[in-house]
Amino acid sequence: MISFVQVGKTYPDGTVAVAATDLTADSGRITVLVGPSGSGKTTLLRMVNRMIEPTSGEILIDGVDVRSKSAPELRRGIGYVIQNAGLFPHRTVLANVMTVPRLLGWSKDKARERAMELLTTVGLEESHAKRYPFQLSGGQQQRVGVARALAADPPVLLMDEPFSAVDPVVRKDLQTELLRLQSELSKTILFVTHDIDEAIQLGDKVAVLNTGGVLEQFDTPTELLANPKNEFVESFLGLDRGVRRLSFFSSTGVPLRPEPVVARDAPAAEVLARRGAQPWLLVVDDGHKPLGWLTAEQVPADGDLTKVAVGELVSYGHTFGAATDSLRAALDSAILSPSSRAVGVAEDGRVVGVASVEELVPAIRAAQSASVPDTGHGDRGEPGDRVEPGDRNDREDRDDNPDTV
């Protein structure tokens, strides 16, 4: 684990980047540092690998002071991932990933084998190995950056806003990939972000920092959302923290009704009977997968749904996994649906049933009154909007010195 003991950083001009901080990043867990620009989160992270030296306190990794080793030696035993990947442009992807093992004295064959193994682990094809960074997309470059950081199998991984420079879709994919890798590798990860949604999505524990490097609260995401300790934390979490908290509760308790669901080729008598009892019908294909909503008034008088073109159906918004997704995903599905009904599906995409916003309320109340929510790193709802890179006050220029890898 990583322990910060009264660690502070004050610059010669008197600027306090980090106030005296006590913080422990648990072994095998993801600890996220989040806060506005100038809150010292990147400074805290970079003091772990001595890219910045603290002016007070000590930093321990498994009880050993980081100053007991030379900075280059220390850095070679710590994985480091930054935004825009920070890859060496003149080296191939394979050579980038091999960098640290080669610095540690590994044979070329052993380093190559490890690099190829890791490229597969982070979801890249073997064909990517011979390419140069400029030939990759932003998301692919970040995957290479993660692979390079893991190359020497370090116990500690430092991640400084690693996904902030990619688009929201790629960012979500990379977040999911990181959680998958962590479930397999169990690294001690210290992760910096501006985005509170990303912090809640990824963190086992989250440290909320204020301007001047003041630690306002350090808690699990569920406790943070349920009980912010002061006005700053509450403000930083935003007005929808109650909805975010639903990301930690399973949707398995949501009552799903099959009555509004009807196949496009269903018998006319069945269609007409359901039209008489339901204001909306969810039309499904022959594989029982959703096609769209139809109001009762739009149903043909003879009950023949094949007369209705698929393009005339109203979009169902998005579905949610009835056995896998969160209550937040279910609520979002209902809110975005024109019928105000969430569409629950099985793992193969077949419709299980639907639930109205009103029918979700008892499940939400039951979840909120539960003493121990589901805090697994499964689906936690949708990550927040992208936050543009920043934090220039506590960020320094980087170079291609291999010792900083």
Q: What gap in Å lies between CA 378 and CA 236, rounded to an integer?
A: 24
Same fold, 2-247+384-404 and 261-369: no
Domain ranges of the chain: 2-247+384-404, 261-369
Half-sphere exposure for 243 (CA within 13 Å, toward CB)? 14
Q: What is the pLDDT of residue 398?
A: 35
Find out whether 192 and 42 touch, Cβ atoms under 8 Å.
yes
Q: What gap in Å lies between CA 367 and CA 322, rounded to an integer?
A: 15
Q: What is the pTM of this model?
A: 0.76
Residues with Cβ within 8 Å of 170's Cβ and at least 6 positions away in sequence, in order, are 137, 138, 139, 163
- CA distances to 258, 316, 353 from 341, rounded to whole Å, are 12, 9, 10
Find out whether 203 and 30 touch, Cβ atoms under 8 Å.
yes
Q: What is the pLDDT of residue 244?
A: 85
Q: Give the pLDDT of the chain (405 residues) as one tens digit per residue.
A: 899 999 999 999 999 999 999 999 999 999 999 999 889 999 999 999 999 999 999 999 999 999 999 999 999 889 999 887 788 899 999 999 999 898 888 999 999 999 998 898 888 888 999 999 999 998 899 899 999 998 888 999 999 998 887 888 888 888 998 999 899 889 999 999 999 999 999 999 999 999 989 999 999 998 999 899 999 999 999 888 888 888 888 898 899 999 899 999 999 999 999 888 889 999 999 999 999 999 989 999 999 999 989 889 999 889 999 988 999 999 999 999 999 999 999 999 999 999 999 999 998 888 877 644 444 444 444 333 333 333 333 333 333 333 333
Q: What is the pLDDT of residue 94?
A: 94
Buried b (16+ CB within 10 A) or exposed e, 348-386: eeebbbbbbbebbeebbeebeeeeebbeebebbbbbbeb
The 3-state secondary structure of 287-355, one letter per residue: CCCEEEEEEHHHCCCCCCHHHCCHHHCECCCCEEECCCCEHHHHHHHHHHCCCCEEEEECCCCCEEEEE
Residues with Cβ within 8 Å of 218's Cβ and at least 6 positions away in sequence, in order, are 23, 205, 206, 207, 208
Q: What gap in Å lies between CA 202 and CA 183, rounded to an integer?
A: 12
Summary count for the chain: helices (H), strands (E)? 13, 16
Q: What is the pLDDT of residue 191?
A: 96
Q: Whole-number mean pLDDT of the chain?
A: 87
64: helix, strand or coil: strand
8: helix, strand or coil: strand
Range list of β-strands (E), 240-336: 261-263, 280-284, 290-295, 319-321
CATH superfamily assigned to domain 2-247+384-404? P-loop containing nucleotide triphosphate hydrolases (3.40.50.300)
Give per-residue pLDDT as tens, 76-106. Answer: 889 999 887 788 899 999 999 999 898 888 9
For the domain made up of 261-369, the CATH class stated in words is alpha beta
Q: What is the pLDDT of residue 379?
A: 42
